[in-house]
């Protein structure tokens, strides 16, 4: 039901966007051709912000089609880019096995919690992060029943993966 609602909302937004633009030159009836509609919608990328509100991110050339953590959790999706924000509720010990990761737990507006695994071999450590701090983030979401894990909150030195980041106290860690 949730997926059907999202599909209906996206379709309504696309129809609304197309009806607000000028009719194509090849149509005398005032209706757009299928080619014109397809051309206009190919560059449009929508991302959810909070509870089913969408914003155009087509000017963000580094961004894939981003999703909120709450939507990804409800759909039980993994390996998907996420962008959201929340409050740090717990600082965990670093994971020093293999690539080193700074770990902490963040709670987003819906109440869902996310475990962060921030690679400190590829991105700067967030030394002053504390319980109660608010962060914004972009990374890769992995579903788990406890709320999910966010990783890839850093740049990709090989350039084959979308870069992520964490914004904290006016600084961007990537």
85-143: per-residue pLDDT in tens? 999 999 999 999 999 999 999 999 999 999 999 999 999 999 999 999 999 999 999 99
Confidence (pLDDT) at 40 = 37
107 exposure class (CB count in 10 Å sphere: 0-12, 13-18, 19+)? middle
pLDDT band at 161 (very low <50, low <70, confident <90, very high): confident
Confidence (pLDDT) at 68 = 85
CATH code that applies to domain 69-173:
2.40.50.200
Q: How far apart are CA 19 and CA 5, in angstroms?
A: 21
Confidence (pLDDT) at 105 = 98
Radius of gyration of the chain (CA): 19
Confidence (pLDDT) at 156 = 87
135 and 168 in contact (C-beta within 8 Å)?
Answer: yes
Q: How far apart are CA 164 and CA 174, in angstroms?
A: 6
Q: What is the mean pLDDT of the chain?
A: 74
In tens, the pLDDT along 23-79 reads 334 434 444 333 333 333 333 333 333 333 333 333 344 444 567 888 899 999 999
Q: Is the pTM of this model over 0.75?
A: no
Average pLDDT rounded to a whole number, residues 150-168: 91
């Amino acid at each position: 039901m949730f997926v059907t609602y999202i599909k209906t909302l996206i379709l309504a937004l696309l129809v609304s966007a197309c009806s607000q633009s000028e009719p194509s030159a090849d149509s005398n009836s005032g209706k757009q051709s299928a080619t014109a509609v397809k051309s206009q919608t190919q560059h449009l990328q929508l991302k959810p912000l909070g509870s089913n509100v969408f914003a155009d991110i087509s000017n963000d050339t580094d961004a894939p089609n981003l999703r909120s953590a709450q939507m990804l959790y409800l759909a039980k999706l993994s390996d998907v880019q996420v962008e959201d924000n929340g409050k740090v509720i717990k600082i965990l010990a670093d994971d020093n096995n293999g690539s080193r990761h700074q770990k902490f737990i963040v709670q987003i507006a819906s109440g869902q919690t996310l475990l962060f695994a921030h690679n400190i071999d590829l991105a700067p450590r967030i030394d002053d992060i504390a319980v109660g701090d608010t962060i914004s983030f972009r990374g890769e979401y992995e579903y788990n029943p406890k709320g999910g894990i966010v990783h890839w909150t850093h740049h990709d030195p090989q350039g084959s993966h979308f870069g992520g980041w964490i914004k904290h106290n006016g600084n961007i860690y990537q």
